[in-house]
Amino acid sequence: MFPHQKQAEEAIVASFSETEQDGANTETAKEKAEEDDHSFFNVKNFLWHGGSAWDAWFSCASNQVAQVLLTLPYSFSQLGFISGIVFQIFYGLLGSWTAYLISVLYIEYRSRKEKENVSFKNHVIQWFEVLDGLLGPYWKAAGLAFNCTFLLFGSVIQLIACASNIYYINDHLDKRTWTYIFGACCATTVFIPSFHNYRIWSFLGLGMTTYTAWYLTIAAVVHGQVEGVTHTGPKKLVLYFTGATNILYTFGGHAVTVEIMHAMWKPQKFKYIYLMATMYVFTLTLPSATAVYWAFGDQLLNHSNAFSLLPKTAWRDAAVILMLIHQFITFGFACTPLYFVWEKVIGMHDTKSICLRALARLPIVIPIWFLAIIFPFFGPINSAVGALLVSFTVYIIPAIAHMLTYRKASARQNAVEKPPRFMRSWTAMYVVNAFIVVWVFVVGFGFGGWASMTNFVRQVDTFGLFAKCYQCKAPAPAQHH
């Protein structure tokens, strides 16, 4: 009996040392095993608790394109066909690259912390913490400022867009009243604990966007070109760079990348998920923007929402309703990282009670609601946010952070993630990162900032703040037509 006993003891010791070695990674594996046990028997887990690569893909794809789908034809009217298509592909690939950089830095930060036996069981890692851990407090402050402001305005845009869209179905109430109503509806996102719990929402959101994109494409083709249609874009520099910045914003939806990664059972798998999501998004954005611009041409210059030009039918109303539900989901996506930051500030992040956390999160929703009522025009805001915030948050900061993190030979040698297969050397990565920083700073922030702020100020001068019903009268004749 004794030799068997000894063998058993040795096996236990071996497995124990392995467990210690893996640290927090075993927690993740254990959680995954638990999920696998429950998911087949428990409907709640199936619908509610997702952490697979597929969940991350759905989250990335549905988060990337929502309301912006309706403003892309407007961007095409500013840019023209060729620039519109080229910018979409260019910024889509650029966005996928910087999402990859963010995922590399997240893995680096997490593995360093786990070597120090830090557990993340009740803590969601966020981008500003990654910057803090790798580059210090100044970077943390910059990451926090840009990210939070971007997400705040992202949430505001969703609320404005909800009111704008529902008005095409029911114009008995003005848009400001609809903003009050949707603000109350969107406030319910405080009850969704984290990105683990967006499984069913991400799936539905992507289905809704897919329907809307193909509705726009088919409806525009069936409608045909309007009489005397003209496609003069690009005509003015201001409009050209405003349109380009809106596309920069479209593919800059990864201010929540770190939170989506953290919700995965195996975050290492995230590397190419964003690229795959972008490829799918191209199948929605390119046909719909091209078809609507082909049909309506320069009319789009005065209609930032594509719904306003399409005839009122049951198909269009279905698209509007699905878009509204998706905007509620996207509002949750944009707000959840803000909720996490606020919870950490007030010391509520570890709280288990969903109701207590929901109550603590409410102060975040109220200023968003208020801003949506002050600035009721989302087309110009999209471009301003794209130029002034997305350019730094999503493109410039990740590229510089990656270069600084691996500037020393020792850091490159001990890097958890080496350069990808298609880019063998660190030098090639530096060249790509430096190009992104210069391009986005000059074209996105410089020209884009000038154009979008000029456009934004013009809109404020024309319509004023707290507008009761922005751009309401223009679509009315088209609807009676």
3-class secondary-structure state, position 42: coil
- The answer as to CATH 1.10.4160 being correct for domain 58-463 is yes
Residue 474 predicted with pLDDT over 60 = no
Span 182-193, average pLDDT: 78
* ω into 234 cis (within 30 of 0): yes
Per-residue confidence (pLDDT) for residue 389, from 0 to 100: 83
Per-residue confidence (pLDDT) for residue 13, from 0 to 100: 40
> In terms of pLDDT, which residue wins out, 15 or 311?
311
Cα 438 from chain centroid?
A: 23
Per-residue confidence (pLDDT) for residue 441, from 0 to 100: 94
Q: How many CB atoms lie within 10 A of CB 283?
A: 12
Which of these, 108, 176, 91, lies nearest to 401 by C-alpha position?
A: 108
> In terms of pLDDT, which residue wins out, 335 or 24?
335
What's the pLDDT tens digit per position in 62-101? 888 777 788 899 989 999 899 999 999 999 999 999 999 9
What's the pLDDT tens digit per position in 327-366? 888 888 888 888 888 888 887 777 777 788 888 888 888 8
Q: Quick one: angle between helices 24-39 and 2-22, nearest 10? A: 100
Tell me the average pLDDT of the chain.
79
CA pair distance 262, 195, nearest whole angstrom: 8
Lookup: tokens for 190: 């405080």
pTM of the model: 0.81
% of the chain beyond a pLDDT of 70 = 81
Q: What are the residue ranges spanned by the domains of the chain?
A: 58-463
CA pair distance 20, 301, nearest whole angstrom: 61
Contact predicate 333/67, CB 8 Å: no
In Å, the largest CA–CA distance within the chain is: 95
Per-residue confidence (pLDDT) for residue 304, from 0 to 100: 79
Between the CA atoms of 140, 141, 147 and 153, what dihedral angle is there, to the nearest 10 degrees? 170
What's the pLDDT tens digit per position in 288-327? 999 999 999 888 888 878 888 888 889 988 988 888 888 8
Residue 412 predicted with pLDDT over 60 = yes
Per-residue confidence (pLDDT) for residue 424, from 0 to 100: 77
Per-residue confidence (pLDDT) for residue 399, from 0 to 100: 95
CA pair distance 470, 378, nearest whole angstrom: 10
